[in-house]
């Protein structure tokens, strides 16, 4: 019947349909990107670690079944956050089953092993044992994909805050490092726009007689210092000394300080434009990368302008006494 062999009553013709058994499981997140697992007390897969899992009962929804299994096996009371995976699985004991895995959230209870579990504890993602049920492996992968941007942003923001509290942004592994790398690999687009702007802008008329290649070389050097400093490979003292010397040199070349300041701001403008063009693809993480780097750029140019001003003689402290 319908392309399948089915059990049929020879008297009345009633068909006995066999369907996959519904199974509910819960991925419960813990602290520091960890997941609650229980150690199975019985077969199948006795002694293995897995997420709380069990058959749905008559009269309950699949969500209710998931929360019941969570409570019975781990002692945790929870709520359903979202569906992660629904996959077919062939059990060595029960045949075809349909495993539905939800992401849950803890609202009460204490993590203790229940009736079908020998142990219950949280495992960090880099310490996870091999899960015996393939649908739970897929659910775990889906959960990581769903939260990857959130985790990346949170980690990067914590590094940024820690850096600013230290008075600098010497943080490694920040989300906006990707845009810095793009700039280092190909700085010419930003440089060419900046050179053209500096040599034609009404606020930087003193640069109009400069050689374009020389101006680009100097701009390229600044961008290198920019990247090295923000990535923590250039000491602050070296950066300060460089821009003090830059201020002294521009003063000797006869440029007004407001023109030097404008040249910095024009470079900042073109960096921002390049970062948006290269780094924004509509995702939340892209938006965060661009905004985070904008803040880091602001820190850099604050440092650069301040020390160039000291070298130029605008500050009260003599340049040679500046840290």
DSSP per-residue string spanning 232-268 = T-S-HHHHHHHHHHHHHHHHHTT--HHHHHHHHHHHH
Residue 293, pLDDT score: 85
- What are the residue ranges in the chain where pLDDT is below 50? 316-323
CATH class of 7-147: alpha beta
- CA dist list (Å): 101 to 15, 27, 33: 31, 7, 18
Long-range contacts of 242-245 (CB under 8 A, 24+ apart): 242/307, 243/303, 243/304, 243/306, 243/307, 243/308, 243/311, 244/307, 244/308, 244/310, 244/311, 244/319, 244/322, 245/311
Q: Which long-range contacts (CB under 8 A, 24 or more apart) does 184-187 make?
A: 184/223, 184/224, 184/227, 187/220, 187/223
Q: At residue 272, what are phi and psi to the nearest 5 degrees?
A: -60, -45
pLDDT at 168: 58
Q: How far apart are CA 246 and CA 260, in angstroms?
A: 10
Look at residue 169 in the predicted model and tell me its pLDDT.
54
- Backbone φ and ψ for 28, nearest 5 degrees, come out as -105, 110
d(C-alpha 102, C-alpha 38), whole Å:
16
Residue 276: how many other CB atoms lie within 10 Å: 15
Looking at residue 70, its pLDDT comes to 97
Burial of 99 (0-12, 13-18, 19+ CB in 10 A): buried
Predicted pLDDT of residue 203: 95
- Secondary-structure class of domain 166-321 per CATH: mainly alpha
243-264 exposure pattern, b = at least 16 Cβ within 10 A, e = fewer? bbebbbebbeeebebebbbbbb
Cα–Cα–Cα angle for 173, 127, 38, nearest 5°?
135
Residues 288, 291: Cα–Cα separation, whole Å: 5
Side-chain-facing half-sphere of 299: CA atoms under 13 Å: 24
3-state class (DSSP) for residue 151: helix
The CATH 1.10.490.70 portion of the chain extends over 166-321
Vertex 184 angle, CA 258 and 243, to 5°:
30
pTM: 0.74
For the chain, residues classed under CATH 3.90.79.10 are: 7-147
Q: Which helix (H) or strand (E) holds 193?
A: helix 188-198
Q: What is the pLDDT of residue 279?
A: 75
Q: CB atoms < 10 A from the CB of 137, how many?
A: 17
CA proximity to 23, closest of 98, 117, 131? 98
Give the chain's end-to-end CA distance (angstroms, integer): 87
């Amino acid at each position: 019947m319908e392309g399948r062999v089915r059990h049929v009553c020879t008297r009345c013709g009633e068909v006995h349909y066999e369907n996959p058994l519904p199974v509910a499981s819960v991925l419960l997140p813990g602290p520091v990107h960890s997941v609650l697992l229980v150690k199975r007390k019985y077969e199948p897969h006795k002694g293995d670690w897995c997420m709380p899992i069990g058959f749905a009962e008559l009269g309950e929804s699949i969500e209710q079944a998931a929360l019941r299994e969570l409570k019975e096996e781990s002692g945790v009371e929870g709520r359903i956050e979202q569906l992660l995976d629904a996959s077919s699985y062939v059990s060595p004991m029960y045949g075809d089953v349909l495993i539905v895995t939800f992401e849950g959230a803890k609202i009460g209870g204490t993590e203790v092993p229940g009736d079908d579990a020998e142990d219950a504890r949280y495992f960090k993602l880099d310490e996870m044992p091999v899960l015996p049920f393939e649908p739970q492996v897929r659910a775990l992968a889906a959960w990581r994909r769903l939260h990857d941007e959130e985790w990346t942003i949170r980690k990067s923001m914590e590094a940024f805050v820690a850096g600013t509290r230290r008075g600098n942004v010497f943080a490694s592994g920040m989300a906006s490092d990707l845009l810095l790398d793009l700039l280092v690999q190909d700085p010419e687009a930003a440089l060419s726009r900046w050179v053209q702007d500096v040599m034609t802008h009404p606020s930087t008329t003193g640069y109009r007689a400069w050689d374009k290649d020389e101006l680009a070389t100097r701009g390229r050097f600044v961008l290198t210092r920019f990247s090295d400093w923000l990535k923590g490979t250039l000491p602050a003292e070296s950066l300060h000394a460089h821009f003090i010397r830059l201020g002294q040199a521009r003063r000797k070349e006869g440029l007004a300080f407001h023109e030097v300041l404008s040249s910095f701001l024009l470079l900042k403008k073109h960096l921002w434009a390049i970062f948006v063009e290269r780094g924004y693809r509509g995702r939340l993480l892209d938006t965060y990368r661009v905004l985070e780097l904008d803040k880091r750029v602001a820190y850099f140019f604050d440092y650069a302008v301040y020390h160039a001003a000291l070298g130029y003689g605008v500050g009260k402290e003599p340049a040679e006494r500046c840290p």
